[in-house]
Amino acid sequence: MGPGPSDVPQRILEAMARPTIGHLDPAFSTMMEETKALLRYAFQTENKLTFPVSGPGSVGMEMCFVNLVEPGDKVIVCVNGVFGGRMVENVKRTGGIAVVVEDAWGTPADPAKVAAAFAANPDAKLLAFVHAETSTGAQSDAAALAAVAGRHGALTIMDCVTSLAGTPVLVDEWGIDAAYSGSQKCLSCTPGIAPVTFGERAVAKVRARKTPVQSWFMDLNLVLGYWSGEGKRTYHHTAPINPLYGLHEALRMLAEEGLEAAWARHRAMHEKLRDGLETLGLGFVVAEAARLPQLNSVYIPAGVDDGAARSRLINEFNLEIGAGLGALSGKIWRIGLMGYSARQGNVDYCLKAVKAVVG
Amino acid sequence: MGPGPSDVPQRILEAMARPTIGHLDPAFSTMMEETKALLRYAFQTENKLTFPVSGPGSVGMEMCFVNLVEPGDKVIVCVNGVFGGRMVENVKRTGGIAVVVEDAWGTPADPAKVAAAFAANPDAKLLAFVHAETSTGAQSDAAALAAVAGRHGALTIMDCVTSLAGTPVLVDEWGIDAAYSGSQKCLSCTPGIAPVTFGERAVAKVRARKTPVQSWFMDLNLVLGYWSGEGKRTYHHTAPINPLYGLHEALRMLAEEGLEAAWARHRAMHEKLRDGLETLGLGFVVAEAARLPQLNSVYIPAGVDDGAARSRLINEFNLEIGAGLGALSGKIWRIGLMGYSARQGNVDYCLKAVKAVVG
């Protein structure tokens, strides 16, 4: 019950153990097409270019930046935790100019500050922000942020690694141009696959680039030939067949439950956990309005040793929860209720275990 | 029985279906250390920095180039098939200058030509070559090529995607500075993981870079904190836990059989397949001395339609073999005998099926 990977249901583990077939086998193509359709449902988008990247979420992130940022492009980046900082690093390494909009860790990105940054930088071509900061448990108002970018004709890149399937991610309604996620959070698949989606404006920007994409592996122009589904698939790389079996199964389970039901389940489990943790005297890091139900950041009570308590949780209760990162290291715990982990039994067990180590 | 992915033994599939644990769990660290030691055995190296990249072989390739090539660096690249061409593309995208040494597809890279290229380009800093060209089935003399580079003080990058565990790969004995492979060839694991190894001279070059590595995800300086095993592991990305269970099991199986025994088995199975294919009138693309036992490229007999014959193999015999790539498309077949696929039953079955479609 850390900040991911979440528990993986047996059904997904079994799917991953199916016999490996060739990545150019017609049966694999059929599964790929289904996976893409299911991902469009998860992202709530009609984007044709929606597919699973053969790599961790960090590769999904880098794929967005290396394709959409050209050397010299100015990019406004919201930083309110670890992963916003990583976006800045990505902008720099693609030769872009990062304009950082900072908010305190544990708070959401502020649309008013973003509007001010656009006013000061009218030549900014992109806005990048993290919808759900895995390092703090804070959720930003993606619709409001994307609207600011839209008013300035800028494209948006959104990190929804921790939000996808846990809280609403409405790519088309919000007007997001590129988004990336991970397989191991609220989808409850094993880590290693990054769902991504790119809208038409993003694809047009990639096609109009004056410089080649610096990464061969992540170049959308090449990946398009493999994933686009337009005519004959061109060999690009050998896809991770078995992890993709797992993702396909995870997405089928999500469709069976329904997105709205999944969001409601995460919310309901969070409320039970929250009530229990508050009864134990643990306070939340993030204000209620911006709190991610799937990632509960709480302050470690005074007098409780972080390392010792988490060791006891692992050794005595076989329970992993997340430590704080960066400035919050040693100060907070991050308790995940993601995907399959967001269920009553987990909430009860976690409360029992936490009570034992803080009691 | 194509050019990979190879058949995955049930034992490895079952390993992949084990419950997912956290990537920072102590039990996972133990498995990682074992995996690194087993990879050193597979690569025949003492290199400390030997680990599995969380991505397909193409990411392993790109990791070598983005770290070892700095803008302006001259790199001599042997091209005798698709994957040598991909190396050239990698050099260009890192801002390096590729000096291409071409050899005909189906022949090995010629050390004499490489020596001439170094003579003409004494400022070349690297030599890159493909040990086993998956597109043709030709194996190059890695020891001879690396020796030429060594005489000119250049570092070597070797692609051993298809050779690792199928034919001898002797990283230390040959003096290779960086090598990458894949999980889905002669290791018979599922695709998606790229074993890599970097020697001390390579690490020194990365540490002495004047420019940052252009990729955040592939930057060895950051990855080192995660995989080096020196002290506390720094979070870099969420490792693909379940595929790594599979790789660990695959490497254990290799160690149980023994490298020499695995090489001998690939050789013996190749000889049986070769005899059978030649009896059927199929000629080999690659001369005997440079022929990879694990990848048998043969000319499609006159009068046999490539697509129709491979469709029959899949539909009637449930057997996938590889098509030709590039200039060899429609002209050759590539029959893999990789890892777990290199066994008597497969050879017999393949010969029966091929006989039916070419008869």
Q: Do the domains A10-255 and A258-358 sit in the same CATH topology, yes or no?
A: no
The average pLDDT across A322-337 equals: 94
Our CA angle for B237, B240, B245, nearest 5°, is 140
CB contact under 8 A, B182 and A238: yes
CA dihedral A164, A169, A171, A175 (to 10 degrees): -140
Least confident of B26-30, B275-279, B288-292: B26-30
Domain segments of chain B: what residues?
10-255, 259-358
* pLDDT value of residue B2: 93
Instruction: State percent of chain A over pLDDT 70.
Output: 98
Least confident of A340-354, B17-31, B136-150, B261-275: B17-31
Q: What is the phi/psi pair of residue B138, to 5°? A: -95, 140
Instruction: State percent of chain B over pLDDT 70.
Output: 98
The answer on pLDDT for A230 being more than 60 is: no
Residue in this structure with the two tokens 């000319």, named with its chain if needed: B299
Least confident of A273-282, B98-107, B233-242: B233-242
Q: Are A220 and A198 contacting, i.e. CB atoms less than 8 angstroms apart?
A: yes
Q: Are B125 and B156 contacting, i.e. CB atoms less than 8 angstroms apart?
A: no
The answer on pLDDT for B154 being more than 90 is: yes
Token pair in block for residue A300: 């470690």
- What gap in Å lies between CA A329 and CA A307, rounded to an integer? 10
Q: How many CA atoms lie within 13 A of A70 on its CB side?
A: 11
* pLDDT value of residue B105: 97
Nearest CB neighbour to B56, from listed A62, A90, A238 = A238
CATH of the domain spanning B259-358: 3.90.1150.10
- What gap in Å lies between CA A125 and CA A132, rounded to an integer? 23
The annotated binding site of B for substrate is made up of: 334
Nearest CB neighbour to B216, from listed A62, A217, A320 = A62
Indicate the burial class of A30 (C-beta count within 10 angstroms; 0-12, 13-18, 19 or more). exposed
Q: What is the DSSP letter of A290?
A: G
Average pLDDT, chain B: 95
| Contact residues on chain B for A212, CB-CB shorter than 8 A | 92-93
* pLDDT value of residue B224: 79
- What gap in Å lies between CA B51 and CA B224, rounded to an integer? 10
Nearest CB neighbour to B217, from listed A25, A58, A246 = A58
CB contact under 8 A, A320 and B22: yes
What angle, 0 to 180 degrees and rounded to 10, lies between the N-to-C axes of helices A259-279 and A344-358?
20
The answer on pLDDT for B307 being more than 90 is: yes
Indicate the burial class of A2 (C-beta count within 10 angstroms; 0-12, 13-18, 19 or more). buried
* pLDDT value of residue B24: 79
**pLDDT bracket for residue B290 (50, 70, 90):** very high
CB contact under 8 A, B214 and A214: yes
The answer on pLDDT for B91 being more than 90 is: yes
Fold for the domain defined by A258-358: Aspartate Aminotransferase, domain 1 (3.90.1150)
Residue in this structure with the two tokens 């870099």, named with its chain if needed: B236
**Complex-level ipTM:** 0.94
The average pLDDT across A177-199 equals: 97
- What gap in Å lies between CA B282 and CA B298, rounded to an integer? 6
Q: Alpha helix locations (H) across B44-81?
A: 57-68
The average pLDDT across B130-134 equals: 97
Q: What is the phi/psi pair of residue A234, to 5°? A: -90, 135
The answer on pLDDT for A296 being more than 90 is: yes
The answer on pLDDT for A285 being more than 70 is: yes
* pLDDT value of residue A187: 98
The average pLDDT across A82-108 equals: 97
* pLDDT value of residue A232: 62
CATH of the domain spanning B10-255: 3.40.640.10
Those residues whose C-beta lies under 8 Å from the C-beta of residue A290, and which sit 6 or more positions away, are A107, A108, A138, A139, A140
